[in-house]
Structure 1
Amino acid sequence: MLLLRAREKMMDRFRPLITAQGLTEQQWRVIRALNEKGPLEPRQISDLCTISSPSMAGVLARMETLGLVTKERFADDQRRVRVSLTAKSVKLVKVLSRDLEAEYGAIERAVGADVVAQVYQAVDALLAGLDED
């Protein structure tokens, strides 16, 4: 419950910035993942963004319709698809990144950069420990 409450407090700050650009949280997570990692297969995006595969199919279909991503089949295996960002999404990353970074700065000023760093370290350690299981 504590982690969920913390997530919601954070998203209360970021959600308005994301929705002001006409994006859902899931769409922004997909855009962020593709921006950071480059073109990926839907399964990889699902894993990175913690979005179930059935939901991911719908998210990607809507994103393709909105001109946010493109899908390309692999030449050697037509069953596999590679998803990439469009120029429209790259532009959104630039616009949103400024606003999101400003909000991260406000959070650091509110709670202290040391607290933010400790939270990152603790969550990274938690995830690494859980991945070992």
Structure 2
Amino acid sequence: MTERKPVADFPRPRLMDDTRSLPIALLRAREAVMAWFRPHHRRGGVTEQQWRVIRVLYFEGEMEANRLARRAWLLAPSLSRILKDLEAAKYIRRRPGDSDSRQSLVSLSARGSAMVTRVAPFLDGIHREIARRFGHDRIEALLVLLDQLEAALAEAPEARRRMGTRRTGK
């Protein structure tokens, strides 16, 4: 392994090496996993984000658009564009809310459900291959750890605010 050289001759603030950075490690792992799924999405003619929307609707049924954005980990402006594309492809249906016509309720169409049924065996195969390579027990342990990490970081939003407002250098 080559030794890293400083970028400049002046003192630099202490920063965690990118090989030990949690955000970078999570991104690298996500990219390694998604490399297995992206070709399948491309062949199916949907984006990763569109698939997340379809998957949420498949498992949870009709829901309000704001809740769908949260469940699919999408920003509302991105979801608007995605829903327009999915509706044009006839994978979803939208209708006004029962009590508020400004509210949009989204559900999977029969065509969307049929697409999920058609691709499920391929996706299951990818999941099985990843588990075979990494280990079923290790996948389960990793999922538990990730849930625990998410819960631990969500518990203290005031700590995040304090960390974000901390002054550095003095």
State the Cα distance separating 1:34 from its structure 2 match. 0.5
**Equivalent residue, structure 1, for 2:131:** 108
**Equivalent residue, structure 1, for 2:12:** none
- Unaligned regions of 5+ residues in structure 2, if any? 1-23, 157-170
Whichever residue aligns with residue 10 of structure 1, its letter is V
**Equivalent residue, structure 1, for 2:66:** 43
Q: Which has the larger radius of gyration?
A: 2
RMSD between superposed Cα atoms in Å: 1.0
Whichever residue aligns with residue 28 of structure 2, its letter is R
Identity within the alignment, %:
33
- 2:119 and 2:142 mapped to 1: Cα distance? 23
**Equivalent residue, structure 2, for 1:59:** 82
Judge conservation of contact 1:18–1:96 (CA < 8 Å) in 2: no
State the Cα distance separating 1:48 from its structure 2 match. 0.9
1:77 counterpart (74, 77, 100): 100
- Unaligned regions of 5+ residues in structure 1, if any? none
The structure that is helix-richer by fraction is 1
With normalisation by structure 2, the TM-score equals: 0.75
**Equivalent residue, structure 2, for 1:27:** 50
* Structure-to-structure mapping, 1:88-103, within 5 angstroms: 88-103=111-126
Number of aligned residue pairs: 133
Higher relative contact order (CA 8 A, sep 6+): 1
State the Cα distance separating 1:75 from its structure 2 match. 2.9
Segments of 4+ moved more than 2 angstroms: none
Match of 1:20, SS state, is helix
- 1:130 and 1:89 mapped to 2: Cα distance? 35
**Equivalent residue, structure 2, for 1:3:** 26
State the Cα distance separating 1:127 from its structure 2 match. 1.4
With normalisation by structure 1, the TM-score equals: 0.96
State the Cα distance separating 1:115 from its structure 2 match. 1.0
